[in-house]
Amino acid sequence: MSALFLAASFACGGSAPPPAAPAGPAVDPATAGSVTAMVTFEGAVPAPAMMRLEGDPKCVSENGAAERADESLIVGENQALHNVFVYVKDGLGAFGFPVPTEPVVLDQDKCRYTPRVLGVRVGQPLSIRNSDPLLHNVRANPTINQPFNMSTPLEGVSFTRTFATREVMVPFKCDVHAWMTAYVGALDHPYFGTTAPDGKVVLGNLPPGTYTIEAWHETLGTRTQQVTIAAKESKDVAVTFAR
């Protein structure tokens, strides 16, 4: 029995057909500007909890240790906050944006989802793969889109899903390894990104206008700001989270 068939046989739910790209005018790059969000954490950074991995000896082997720090709150140099999803919440009007055909990849590597926080377009393929030599399970629990539950029992197994409707955010879990968590934002436009260790996200090729920018973090909630950019203008936005 092939690995592909094994993975498919565990499906609980399906993938909705990708929608057509929304009709509307294209953004004129000659007048487009950008917004750069800098996201930071305010206050003392709490020590991360340690997650025990002994429940699966293969995870211990893959990580070279029996425990790993919880990654739900990662603060870097200068209080930069990692894994914050930043996107244009509203203000884009009637513009149309072609849907990419290149898949976004969510990997299962060393018993963690990577990246932990990511975005994908509505109708764009999301490829979920297993890079570990052990069994994983992928459970997506959206509140708007169709949920799914798939096993990836072997290294190299992958499957693809699409989201039919905008939703921020869709939580992913592994039923085999309770500490494995990821979050996927499904957007009907291309203006989104996840903060790197430097805490920055650049939303480029943005048409002139007034926008609500939202920053989402899995444990700290959301922050919103309004920003107006003129033709060819670039603006910086500072976003601060605190406990």
Q: Mind spelling out the 3-state secondary structure of 121-172?
A: ECCCCEEEEECCCCCEEEEECCCCCCCEEEEECCCCCEEEECCCCCEEEEEE
- pLDDT band for 21, please (50, 70, 90 cuts): low
Task: Report the pLDDT value the prediction gives residue 243, as an integer from 0 to 100.
Answer: 86
What is the rounded average pLDDT of the residues 78-99? 95
Check whether 2 has a pLDDT greater than 80: no
- pLDDT band for 49, please (50, 70, 90 cuts): very high
Check whether 5 has a pLDDT greater than 50: no
- pLDDT band for 23, please (50, 70, 90 cuts): low
Alpha helices in the chain (DSSP H): 3-8, 57-63
- pLDDT band for 8, please (50, 70, 90 cuts): very low
Compute the mean pLDDT over every residue in the chain, rounded to the nearest whole number: 91
- pLDDT band for 18, please (50, 70, 90 cuts): low
Task: Report the pLDDT value the prediction gives residue 55, as an integer from 0 to 100.
Answer: 85
Check whether 4 has a pLDDT greater than 50: no
Rounded Cα distance between 148 and 141, Å, is: 7
- pLDDT band for 148, please (50, 70, 90 cuts): very high
Rounded Cα distance between 169 and 93, Å, is: 22
Rounded Cα distance between 66 and 73, Å, is: 20
Contacts of 57 (CB under 8 A, 6+ apart): none
Check whether 60 has a pLDDT greater than 90: yes
Task: Report the pLDDT value the prediction gives residue 128, as an integer from 0 to 100.
Answer: 97
- pLDDT band for 17, please (50, 70, 90 cuts): low
Residue 23 in contact with residue 199, Cβ under 8 Å?
A: no
What is the rounded average pLDDT of the residues 56-68? 92
Check whether 32 has a pLDDT greater than 60: yes
Task: Report the pLDDT value the prediction gives residue 94, as an integer from 0 to 100.
Answer: 87
Percent of the chain with pLDDT over 90: 86
Rounded Cα distance between 183 and 194, Å, is: 11
Check whether 12 has a pLDDT greater than 50: no
Backbone dihedral region for residue 221 (phi beyond 0: left; psi -120 to 50: alpha; all else: beta): left
What is the rounded average pLDDT of the residues 76-100? 95
List the domains of the chain with CATH numbers: 3-44+73-242 (2.60.40.420)
Residue 154 in contact with residue 6, Cβ under 8 Å?
A: yes
What is the rounded average pLDDT of the residues 210-237? 97
